[in-house]
Amino acid sequence: MQTTHHLNYPLKRAIRGTSAILFALILNHYFFPADFWMVVTTALLTQSELGTPIKQTWQRFLWIIMLFLATSQTLILFPSPWCAPALIILATAVSAYAYASVSRRYLSLHFPLLALMIMLLVLFIPAVSVNTTYLLEIVSGTAITIFCTLFIFPDRPDKEFSTRVLSLLPDLSAYLSALVALLLKKENARQLADTKRAAVEKVWANKDDYFPVWVFVSGYNPALRAGQYYFVIHIGQITEILFAMHHLALHSFQEPLLLEQLSLPLRASVTHTQELMANLVLLLEEKPPIPLTMDFLEDLTTLEETFRSTVNVSVELLDISQDYVYLAAFIRYLKDLRLQLLALNSTLR
Amino acid sequence: MLRTTARFLKLTPPIELLSLYHALVTLVITAIAFAVFFIFPSPNNYWLMLASILLSQVGLRNEQDSLKFWPVFYYLLSGFISAALVFLLTLTADSFWLSTVVLLITTFITSYKGWLNRKFFLAGCVINFLSIIAAFAPADFTVAAQRFYLIMLASCLVFSVRLLFFLYQRHYQFYYAKINFLQKMKQLYGLIFYNPSQPASLFTRDIDESHFQSTWSDCLSLLQTLKKKAPPAWMHQMERIWDITLSLASLRYRLTDASVLSIVQEEWKQLLTSITDLFNQLMKATKSINLQPLNIAIQRLEELNQGILQTMTKEPLVLLLFIQDLHALKEQLKNISPPFSRKGEA
């Protein structure tokens, strides 16, 4: 799987972060030359995830203020020389535990580390007291971050959504081809299917990096959320279908003649399914789709009829042969796949 | 005391305490850094504390990396880069524009690398953070060199402790990944056989699809981790069980008539209980797993399907395929590799 489609987004984030730091450094130099709180706050707040940057900025701003006040007040109230080390140990232990426990939960990854950073600063940098200057610096840093988030390469979650989904669709299409080749027991089909499967697995196993996970976060733009949520759920269901088909494709058929008779209509169905996927890619790229030359389910109806006429048993007696059941299941999955793709295509048109 | 500690460390802690191990590692690093802090007092010693505590957090990205050796070197590399930048910025801190340029370049590179590859994200944050602190603490060459050595010492400390714990803990990482995977599979089955007492709600889509997707993608992530160390035969079986599980889950969008399931409430509960029980047995690595309850539950569902459901439902094929998937699941569990053997099959 290539990540070249992601190059633009990291560059934009890097420019935005650097600009925020530049503004913070300049303002800090002229108004608060002796302190670093504005710059530190800006550096910590610019690292928000895609989807809800303003909400995350506010949340972290509140965290920073609370931690700053809590830590500095504790040191004032308990000036004992053991207070600072005790606080450090407590903060470290809790943060490390929280970090490891929630490290997979979206957005909460940074909070423990952020908490640790703020507390360490207050504990180690001497002569910090509850001073309105420091609070003003933190607020200024937040304002700079919000300004940069809104005006310097602002996030385009709709574009980023398309980019990430676009990278997955060709992998799904290739995986489908490989599964049909595996079902028809073509040469090297198994290795090919495993390779294509690995590409799809990589995306889902590293969802945070390759998939638009921000769609599920509360506070995300409601105008975009409904459509993107629907899309993501159906892409997930398409992936589930393909994984389920893998198990069926591995089955050793006792009647290879059965496969041969179904080979042509099966391939035709898969070709039409891939056409739909290609159309989906075009729609996501905002290009005109290729006009479809077939009725949406006609080829599948033909496949089902061919299967029924070849097998020649009713549904109730299908389980007299494992081969019949597995083929019926595979064809049914092709139908499910087609219905999912049709639903997505109609959403985007 | 040492013997007790060794015995404690040799124990296989419950999966819930895995996070505590990370906290324990961090505490050890903090304690050693503190010891140095007090034994060798110096005005700049706080750099040792800052660097060691923050650098100890940068490596833990996901479980797939936990079985690999090379991420341990992240600590050394991050430490070296931090040390070099702190040294440079300490010397240039008196010149506003020079230090600004260095900071901006640092921010740009760490931010870019962090967003390009999320594995480097936290390391980038920590490097940036330490650089900013150094830019506001100007000092002469001696102090700059001291800070450099302190941060390098911190990164060596973190590297050494992490390496020791890695060598000790990697024996258990595979075990944890396996247990985690089986627990997630149980959760997944809980969602597939959701709310058997209210079958109508099963198909008013009360299932949170995002939660379901998140659960199975977590399972997949754990499977990827297991691939690195698991025997190939066992891995192949787990992947087939995984595929069959997703196949079973297809019922939630295939079966459009909820009233059908109101007839099979008891059988539904039995299926869930028997499958959950099987995963519990797999987690305990019992010598033999008992397939009898699952067998009975499948048979009862099959009888009901042949007797009543096939005539009631609009799509009899859907339930037939569901039952076939249950048989396939049973077969996979029956043939699961040692140390799991089977008993109780029909």
Long-range contacts of B141-149, Cβ-Cβ distance < 8 Å, separation of 24 or more: B141/B91, B143/B44, B143/B90, B144/B86, B144/B87, B144/B90, B144/B91, B145/B87, B146/B42, B146/B44, B147/B44, B147/B47, B147/B83, B147/B86, B147/B87, B147/B90, B148/B83, B148/B84, B148/B86, B148/B87, B149/B83
Tens of pLDDT along B28-61? 888 888 888 778 878 788 888 888 888 887 765 5
| Percent of chain B at pLDDT exceeding 90 | 26
**CB burial class (10 A; 0-12, 13-18, 19+) of residue B338?**
exposed
Whether the CB of B331 is below 8 Å from some CB of chain A: the reply is no
Binary contact (A14, B115; C-beta < 8 A): yes
Mutate to test the interface with B, among A18, A87, A232 (most CBs of B within 10 A): A18
Distance from CA of A152 to the nearest CA of B (A): 14
Tell me which H or E stretch contains B342: strand B341-343
Query: Which residue among B34, B56, B103 sits closest to A21, beta carbon to beta carbon?
Result: B103
Which 3-state string (H, E, C) describes chain A? CCCHHHCHHHHHHHHHHHHHHHHHHHHHHHHCCCCCHHHHHHHHHCCCCCCCHHHHHHHHHHHHHHHHHHHHHHHHHCCCCCHHHHHHHHHHHHHHHHHHHCCCCCCCCHHHHHHHHHHHHHHHCCCCCCCHHHHHHHHHHHHHHHHHHHHCCCCCHHHHHHHHHHHHHHHHHHHHHHHHHHHCCCCCHHHHHHHHHHHHHHHHHCHHHHCCHHHHCCCCCHHHHHHHHHHHHHHHHHHHHHHHHHHHHCCCCCCHHHHHHHHHHHHHHHHHHHHHHHHHHHHHCCCCCCCCCCCCCHHHHHHHHHHHHHHCCCHHHHHHCHHHHHHHHHHHHHHHHHHHHHHHHHHHC
**Would you say A171 and A196 are in contact if contact means Cβ atoms under 8 Å apart?**
yes
Higher pLDDT, B337 or B193: B193
The answer to whether residue B9 scores a pLDDT higher than 70 is no
Q: Which token pair is B346?
A: 């029909």
Mean pLDDT of B291-314: 87
Taking Cα atoms as reference points, which of A49, A39, A41 lies closest to residue A9?
A49
Q: Which token pair is B7?
A: 């015995």
When pLDDT is cut at 50, 70 and 90, the band that residue A98 belongs to is: low
Whether the CB of B345 is below 8 Å from some CB of chain A: the reply is no
Binary contact (B250, A240; C-beta < 8 A): yes
Tens of pLDDT along B111-123? 999 888 877 888 8
What pLDDT shows up at residue B60?
A: 55
Distance from CA of A247 to the nearest CA of B (A): 6
Tens of pLDDT along A63-72? 888 888 888 8
> What is the rounded distance in angstroms from the CA atom of residue A68 to the CA atom of residue A137?
12
Whether the CB of B103 is below 8 Å from some CB of chain A: the reply is yes
Q: Which of B115-119, B180-184, B228-232 has the highest mean pLDDT?
A: B180-184
Whether the CB of B157 is below 8 Å from some CB of chain A: the reply is no
The answer to whether residue A107 scores a pLDDT higher than 60 is no
Query: Which residue among B108, B210, B244 sits closest to A233, beta carbon to beta carbon?
Result: B210
Mean pLDDT of B136-158: 92
What pLDDT shows up at residue A158?
A: 87
In angstroms, what CA-CA distances link A84 with A87, A90, A122, B133, B312?
5, 10, 10, 19, 71
Taking the CA atoms of chain A, what radius of gyration do you get in angstroms?
A: 28
Distance from CA of A288 to the nearest CA of B (A): 31
Binary contact (A209, B317; C-beta < 8 A): no
> What is the rounded distance in angstroms from the CA atom of residue B217 to the CA atom of residue B211?
10
Taking the CA atoms of chain B, what radius of gyration do you get in angstroms?
A: 28
Tell me which H or E stretch contains B290: strand B288-290
> What is the rounded distance in angstroms from the CA atom of residue A45 to the CA atom of residue A295?
52
Residues in chain B with CB shorter than 8 Å from the CB of A31 are none
Output the CA angle B199-B205-B207, nearest 5 degrees: 85
| Percent of chain A at pLDDT exceeding 70 | 85
What pLDDT shows up at residue A38?
A: 93
Distance from CA of B242 to the nearest CA of A (A): 8
Distance from CA of B189 to the nearest CA of A (A): 14
Query: Which residue among B113, B122, B240 sits closest to A247, beta carbon to beta carbon?
Result: B240
CA-based nearest residue in chain A for residue B310: A316
When pLDDT is cut at 50, 70 and 90, the band that residue B69 belongs to is: low
The answer to whether residue A3 scores a pLDDT higher than 70 is no
The one-letter code for the residue type at A92 is T
Query: Which residue among A46, A89, A204 sits closest to B217, beta carbon to beta carbon?
Result: A204
What pLDDT shows up at residue A23?
A: 96
The answer to whether residue A294 scores a pLDDT higher than 70 is no
| Residue whose token pair is 């192949």 | B236
Tens of pLDDT along A209-249? 788 888 888 788 888 888 888 899 999 999 999 999 999 99
When pLDDT is cut at 50, 70 and 90, the band that residue A103 belongs to is: very low
Tens of pLDDT along B84-107? 999 999 999 889 999 999 999 999
Higher pLDDT, A96 or A180: A180
Whether the CB of B287 is below 8 Å from some CB of chain A: the reply is no
Binary contact (A103, B133; C-beta < 8 A): no
Q: Which token pair is A222?
A: 């409601």
| Prior bond of B338 cis (ω within 30°) | no
> What is the rounded distance in angstroms from the CA atom of residue A207 to the CA atom of residue A109?
15
Whether the CB of B344 is below 8 Å from some CB of chain A: the reply is no
Binary contact (A85, B34; C-beta < 8 A): yes
When pLDDT is cut at 50, 70 and 90, the band that residue B196 belongs to is: very low
What pLDDT shows up at residue B15?
A: 52
Residues in chain A with CB shorter than 8 Å from the CB of B56 are 96
What pLDDT shows up at residue A192?
A: 92
Residues 6+ apart with CB under 8 A from B235: B226, B227
> How many beta-carbon contacts under 8 Å exist across A and B?
210
> What is the rounded distance in angstroms from the CA atom of residue B175 to the CA atom of residue A4?
36
Touching A: B residues 224-243, CB under 8 Å: 224, 240, 242-243
Residues in chain B with CB shorter than 8 Å from the CB of A112 are 57
Query: Which residue among B122, B318, B324 sits closest to A319, beta carbon to beta carbon?
Result: B324
Residues 6+ apart with CB under 8 A from A345: A276, A279, A280, A283, A289
Say whether B319 sits in a helix, a strand or coil: helix
What pLDDT shows up at residue A140?
A: 94
Touching A: B residues 17-56, CB under 8 Å: 18-23, 25-27, 30-31, 34, 46, 49-50, 53-54, 56
Residues in chain B with CB shorter than 8 Å from the CB of A324 are none
The answer to whether residue A104 scores a pLDDT higher than 50 is no
The answer to whether residue A79 scores a pLDDT higher than 90 is no
Taking Cα atoms as reference points, which of A184, A148, A122, A109 lies closest to residue A24?
A148
> What is the rounded distance in angstroms from the CA atom of residue B159 to the CA atom of residue B168?
14
Whether the CB of B312 is below 8 Å from some CB of chain A: the reply is no
Binary contact (A88, B244; C-beta < 8 A): no
> What is the rounded distance in angstroms from the CA atom of residue B18 to the CA atom of residue B20?
5
Whether the CB of B256 is below 8 Å from some CB of chain A: the reply is no
Tens of pLDDT along A146-187? 999 999 999 888 888 888 888 899 999 999 999 999 998 888
Binary contact (A315, B328; C-beta < 8 A): no
Taking Cα atoms as reference points, which of B159, B157, B137, B156 lies closest to residue B147?
B137
The one-letter code for the residue type at B115 is W
